[in-house]
Structure 1
């Protein structure tokens, strides 16, 4: 029996299309697929243009296969089982066969980024994660539908209709129209800007073309925006304008080839505006690689002269080949480099791409793709500072411009779905960082434990507090994703702390957050599990520090301890200059917290804000925790002992991760118990400085090693001296000492002793050569002896002249030779035979008596 469709559904879809706002439907029941056909039909009638495309996302299985032959077999089996009437046409089967559907597994959802659809269907609701929700919903265009399919639900919330904005041309649309008329006679800006949909996009294209027409090839233009603002389209139009301006070699780099569909689509649309004809003036080449799914990889233009647009794809398996210096000749002839979604590409890769040519960067700052802020926090800040320095200097350096797109194109401004999604997943929270009223002294600050049940209760005050916490996460850490929010809310081992200044409870306002700490309790792993993990070569998920320690040192006792891992410390941007003070204060309070609660159980103090009390914050000494045996700090430099450092760089930031351990005051473990692990770490780190850490900044390497360089007495300890004397002949031969003496006497070049420097450097940084050096001398020794760097590299690194470096280096060698010569001399003396002592005894008679006796003897012989 046919039923009349509720008029509210038609009204919602109709209003959404008119105002270019997206609509969401939740369909409950096993027959929900039949209603998809009806909703798509109503949407098609309202759109009155090409049939809306559909994105169907699912976990692992579709009710009807996306493959035509497999789907026919499924329909046949359903007819045989009586589930389908063979005499009636199944509307859903017709809907599937009519085309326009894009199927996507949740695990492969990254490939839909940058694409636009009229309808998004999310099957298997229980498999959705915050990342998937943000990734898929934001692909729907204005007026489109978002449909959630549920098999069963006990209760449904009411659907609310939104009051829509009045029709008519907005102020920004009038300004865009004026801009198009103003630039209509300019070439190539005039024809291209006609394809722009918003004023922001029009200004962005005009800025790009200004840099292109300047032709100094010394500009870097960064385009920042949330999703759906037309970044890729603006870049595509700018590329077509560069071709019209005579540029010959243009390279495009992106994290995924499918992210470039919109960009190349608008390159071709720009060509249409410039009266270029496909197959006559240019041709488009698709990739022959099946994994790239016929993505555009090259465009050849023949209208003026042979020009080429190529796409270099960043992929995980070929990242190293892409950034190796000896392959940098791929960009030797480039005139324009376009980096789309630069924030999704590892920061070192982006830095290596910058060169003496025009560079366009685009990055998403809000939404799913905008949660990784390393690009905006580091690279853009560095480029801006370099541009300001070059502008003040006598020579002209690179110019830097930053463009932001705020007005949405994919859907109208004020879209309720965007507001809901951003509010739900804390995607647009950069505006939630309040200005600090002042920076209190660290000693006046208190650490508070955050009640997560209250934090995620959706109370207006706790919601604002959550937004501020997430804003600090995004602004101060390198990589974030919506799944971090789920981890904060649900992970039982994770706990949250905030460092606040003095709290005035008489004021009805939330306190300023200076620092946020996320802590994870780990450990208490049985020795049997640790031994099994080592024998299997498999590291289970979770308990990162115990398993990493077990793997690095092959130790099965450490995982049985319990500890707290500081996952991250996020500090307010205005307090970054005093980060070490606030970070140390937070760490100290955190340590005191987990120690004191073992012995003290205080009452909970409620702090209320707003109309009712919110049980949100508890002072650090008023909680109750399980005892722990060690405190771990990850990604934070602190005085406790370092025990491991990852030899592989992070794929996002290009940095290494260091693990630091500290025992608690009230625990039986002492810092000295970790000393053997620290010594082993130092030895391994010294060996790897010539390999994995060869490009590490010398200041960071010196900070990690923290070597002893000041020996007041100038003499080694007896144990060190004995050990050194026994091994000196194995380390340095007499010929080595002769060469070292010749160099220190300025009779030989420093290349004559380069083979000795690594040996001497290892001995010195292991504190086996008690020679006092200055910081500069020790740093040069580290660069040459441990990192195997040449003098030219050190010149640029330390900003010193070559003669200064060699002067400091020869002073080091003279001190080493003096000490080694003394040690060798002592060893040589000990090997010589000892002289025999001669005993002298006095004569029994005097000299006179002896002479008289001799005289008498002679007289007798004469007679």
Structure 2
């Protein structure tokens, strides 16, 4: 039967080479000898085809888990057989832990041993390094038993309370293998499960046309493999000119279009041309969510420099390139948050979809030239979210000159590749939200909404797939970090639950991903209090570690992992409706709380506060990739938890107000203000009047009504600001919104006058007037002191002598 399988496969692989398309081959079984033999024969068949066609020697990437004996045995059989008989291919054997490092590489074939693990991110990443005309071979367990195998990834999805995963995703994955052209062989039974050929038209390569007039050397353009890449290099030329305050180039593409490579080539042209035309040093900053993401860019930049005969030196850390530099120029990697504030002649954001939109705005606004490149459909992030949320701001800004390039032609294979279609379908890389018509919009306006409780088995079935695609499509658009692993998590994580908000017309307009957390097993509580770790259970873990409240370990609730609204109808109350239903269902289940954690922005925080969620913790530093502080909020569902969460909020606000000049000096003022105003319990309930020494009162009076500067009285204003944000509302002086903002930014965060003006729009003179006014209000409100033409006491010395020996308590 294997011979028959190979005969049919040979015809299809021959056609694949003609059409520069890939072919999908699956070898199933638990007998490593039979599986290894079958994989070896497929590779030798492919080798003969390449040899017969007089093709260059090719490299087949072989990925496996080296901790399993059967996987090692299969690998050894394949390796020995290919080494002994091959004429035109060689194996490159690697382990999955190194898969990220292979991004940007190109191979002439692929073997993925999925016997012990099926991690969607690995599949999405590795299948796309294979060029056209090659097989993608998947080694899987017994076909009939594969669904329920406990894989490494499934183990990662379990928590102590739910030690057994669901078995949904592999069933879905198998169904998609059967739904697309593929060759599936059961080695143990020596049976053909499926064999379907794909008719690929003969591929005729198109030579890209190089523009007649270029500022960059023609040799750079000759490195381009497609016309799309030529267009990107030409677009980087365009960045050299500048008429408006900002010149921005955007490059969008599906996976495998050569986006990063084209940018890398163009950057060498940019730095060389820029330093010559401007007569100075040319500095480019490149950034992405991870330095791994820019390795292809650096690789092609190095190649371009070599082609031009430019001496370029690499700076590496832990095996990754962080910088290229030469005489008069440098191209440097920095994390996104750093790239936003560092000066450069050009900032390049690769995989911009993996970075929050507020940070993209900051990078754009802080630089005269910027390039944002992103994948539309892929495992790096939601490219369509970039299009929906960021591009409109660029287009509508009168001070920004924008050029947009979209790449469509694949680099490694011809258009219409069947393996690409299978990959996108299996991992929902091209999932889209439902298209809304006038009736749908009317239903939303009239609040004709339903809350759907979704069962993962149904959702991943043929019947539920339409809802799944709409649901996941909303995630793809709304979230800057959306990966294939998330799809499998929804399917198989036993404590995770999907929910949806739909119109009565049947369209999904809201997507919610929930995780049940708590109670913590008794034998793990002390370990967590001492700094130990636990899978999942993020909310109970943070309460134990930061609030030291043992009782919270015995509670149970839902963490909102993600909530997203259809991009066409945001701001219509759909998210609020969804959270209300989630809270109701959680109460019905007997849960104690609903909570969530996310990178905080004022807009997001307002949404959660409106729905009754209370902030209880925030990370002490910004996430280096997102550039945001991570905040946790919780909503109590019973009286016991209400008192506990209110106390958590009180302690959190106390920490925040005391640390605004330290850890949170660069926290956005509107976020700080929103948090500080969530004060059902005052930080210091017994603080009616701040305790000031008469000497300090005299100083405060001189500042308020005399010539003393803020700098000379800053300690007094600081103590008064602490008191204002810490005491019960009824005991505070009345202040307006601008005064609150200045108290936070200038006094508590200790920012420079110009920094406050830049961030808040309040001019320097007005800031000084506001602070003087606050001092007068405080004197009158707390001590009944108004301007009487005299100081608070006869002399500071009299005041000191009168209070000498008393305990002086500041706030």
Give the TM interval when normalised to the shorter protein.
0.7 to 0.9
Question: Match for 1:758 among 699, 703, 718?
Answer: 718
Contact 2:515/2:560 (8 A) holds in 1 = yes
Partner residue in 2 for 1:531: 526
Q: Given that residues 562 and 630 in structure 1 are in contact (C-alpha distance below 8 angstroms), is that contact kept between their aligned partners in structure 2?
A: yes
2:762 counterpart residue number: 800
Structure-2 separation of matches of 1:564 and 1:186: 58
- Shift in alpha-carbon separation, 1:243–1:673, aligned structure 2, 3 A: closer
User: What per-residue deviation string (whole Å, max 9, x for no partner) do you get for residues 835-855 of structure 1?
Assistant: xxxxxxxxxxxxxxxxxxxxx
Distance 1:44 1:97 in 2: 9
CA distance in 2, matches of 1:6, 1:323: 53
Which residue number corresponds to residue 514 of structure 2? 519
Quote the residue 1:428 is aligned against.
430
1:146 — aligned with what?
Answer: 136
Q: 1:800 to 1:314 in 2, by over 3 A?
A: closer
User: Quick one: distance in 1 between partners of 2:139 and 2:213?
Assistant: 52
The secondary structure found in structure 1 opposite 2:441 is coil
Give distance in 2, aligned partners of 1:455 and 1:788: 52
Gaps of 5+ in 2: 29-34, 145-185, 187-191, 277-281, 599-607, 787-791, 803-811
Q: Tell me the CA shift for residue 55 of structure 1.
A: 1.6
Q: 1:689 aligns with which of 637, 660, 672?
A: 660
Pairing partner for 1:362 from 373, 384, 404: 373
Q: Does structure 2 retain, via aligned residues, the 8 Å contact 1:253–1:314?
A: yes
Match of 2:692? Answer: 732
- 1:266 Cα offset (Å): 4.8
The change in CA–CA distance for 1:55 and 1:740 in structure 2 (over 3 A counts) is: same
Instruction: Report which structure shows greater RCO (CA 8 Å, sep ≥6).
Output: 2
Q: What residue in structure 2 maps to residue 455 of structure 1?
A: 459
Within the candidate set 33, 38, 41, 1:35 is matched to: 41
1:364 to partner: Cα distance: 1.8
Tell me the secondary structure at the aligned position of residue 547 of structure 1.
helix
Q: Secondary structure at the match of 2:784?
A: helix
Equivalent pair of 2:51/2:88 in contact (CA under 8 Å)? no
Q: CA–CA distance in 1 between the matches of 2:376 and 2:353?
A: 9
| Equivalent residue runs for 1:844-863 within 5 Å | none
Q: Is structure 2 residue 197 aligned with structure 1 residue 161? A: yes
Residues 1:389 and 2:417 aligned together: no
Q: Say which is worse superposed, 424-433 or 792-801, in terms of deviation.
A: 424-433
| 1:650 Cα deviation from its structure 2 partner | 3.0
Corresponding residue number in structure 1 for 2:156:
none
Aligned to 2:17: 17
Deviations 1:608-644 (A, max 9, x none): xxxxxxxxxxxxxxxxxx4222222444443233222
What's the offset of the Cα at 1:569? Answer: 1.2
> Matches of residues 450-599 of structure 1 in structure 2 within 5 Å?
450-459=454-463, 462-503=464-505, 511-535=506-530, 537-578=531-572, 581-595=573-587, 598=588
Partner of 1:857: none
Q: 1:746/1:99 Cα in 2 relative to 1: closer, same or farther (>3 Å)?
A: farther
Deviation string, structure 1 residues 257-315 (Cα, Å, up to 9, x no partner)? 7765654565577679xxx66xxx433445576x427x695364xxxxx554x342347
Contact 1:372 1:480 in 2 (8 A): no
1:638-677 mapped onto 2 (5 Å cutoff):
638-664=611-637, 667=638, 669=640, 671-677=642-648
Counterparts of 1:207 and 1:410 in 2: how far apart (Å)?
Answer: 22
Q: Residue 99 of structure 2: which of 105, 109, 122 is its match?
A: 109
CA apart distance, 1:568: 1.7
Contact 1:633 1:661 in 2 (8 A): yes
Which residue of structure 1 aligns with residue 173 of structure 2?
none
1:206 is aligned to: 234
d(CA) in 1 for partners of 2:91 and 2:476? Answer: 35
Determine the C-alpha separation between the residues in 1 that align with 2:559 and 2:245: 48
**Cα distance in 2 between the residues matched to 1:815 and 1:207:** 58
In the other structure, the counterpart of 2:250 is 222
- Counterparts of 1:35 and 1:369, CA distance in 2: 35
Q: Post-superposition shift, 1:789? A: 1.7
What is the rounded CA distance, in whole Å, between the counterparts of 1:53 and 1:435 in structure 2? Answer: 50
Residue matched to 1:698: 669
CA distance in 1, matches of 2:108, 2:403: 34
Give 1:417 shift.
0.6
1:235 aligns with 2:263: yes
* Residue 438 (str. 1) matches residue 441 (str. 2): yes
Tell me the secondary structure at the aligned position of residue 757 of structure 2: helix
* Matches of 1:368 and 1:92, distance apart in 2: 32
Of residues 53, 57, 74 in structure 1, which corresponds to 2:59?
Answer: 53
Q: Report deviation, 1:228.
A: 1.1
Per-residue deviation, 1:672: 3.7
Contact 2:339 2:347 in 1 (8 A): no
Q: Deviation at 1:659?
A: 2.4
1:74-153 alignment, distance < 5 Å? 91-94=81-84, 101-150=91-140, 152-153=142-143
Cα separation, partners in 2 of 1:443 and 1:240, compared to 1, 3 Å: closer
Partner SS for 1:228: coil
User: Over residues 309-343 of structure 1, what are the superposed CA-to-partner deviations in whole Å (9 max), with x where a residue is unaligned?
Assistant: x342347xxx88x5596xx4xx5xx5444444444
User: Which residue number corresponds to residue 292 of structure 1?
Assistant: 319
Q: What is the CA deviation profile of residues 457-500 of structure 1, one whole-angstrom value per residue up to 9, with x for unaligned ones? A: 133xx222211111111111231111111111112222222112
Q: What's the RMSD between the two structures over aligned residues? A: 4.0
Determine if contact 1:60/1:105 at 8 Å carries over to the other structure.
yes
Q: Is the 8 A contact 1:442 1:582 kept in 2?
A: no
1:733: Cα distance to partner?
Answer: 1.7
Deviation, structure 1 residue 146: 1.0
CA distance in 1, matches of 2:313, 2:613: 57
Distance 1:96 1:168 in 2: 28
Aligned to 2:32: none
Report the Cα offset of residue 238 of structure 1: 2.3
Secondary structure of the residue that 2:193 maps to in structure 1?
coil
Distance between the aligned counterparts of 1:259 and 1:341, measured in 2?
Answer: 7
Task: Give the structure-2-normalised TM-score.
Answer: 0.78
Contact 1:456 1:489 in 2 (8 A): yes
Matched length: 717
**8 Å contact 2:340–2:363 — kept in the other structure?**
no
Secondary structure of 1:530's aligned partner:
helix
Tell me the TM-score normalized by structure 1. Answer: 0.74
Unaligned runs of 5+ in 1: 301-305, 391-397, 504-510, 599-625, 710-715, 833-863
| 1:781 counterpart SS class | helix
Cα distance change on mapping 1:791 and 1:758 into 2, 3 Å: same
Report the alpha carbon displacement of residue 805 of structure 1 after superposing the two structures with TM.
Answer: 1.9
What is residue 850 of structure 1 aligned with on the other side? none
SS in 1 for 2:108: strand
Task: Specify the alignment match of 2:6 in structure 1.
Answer: 6
What per-residue deviation string (whole Å, max 9, x for no partner) do you get for residues 9-64 of structure 1? 22111111111111122234143453254044135226633211222212225989
Deviation at 1:528, TM superposition (A): 4.2
Q: Match of 2:333? A: 313
Partner of 1:632: 595
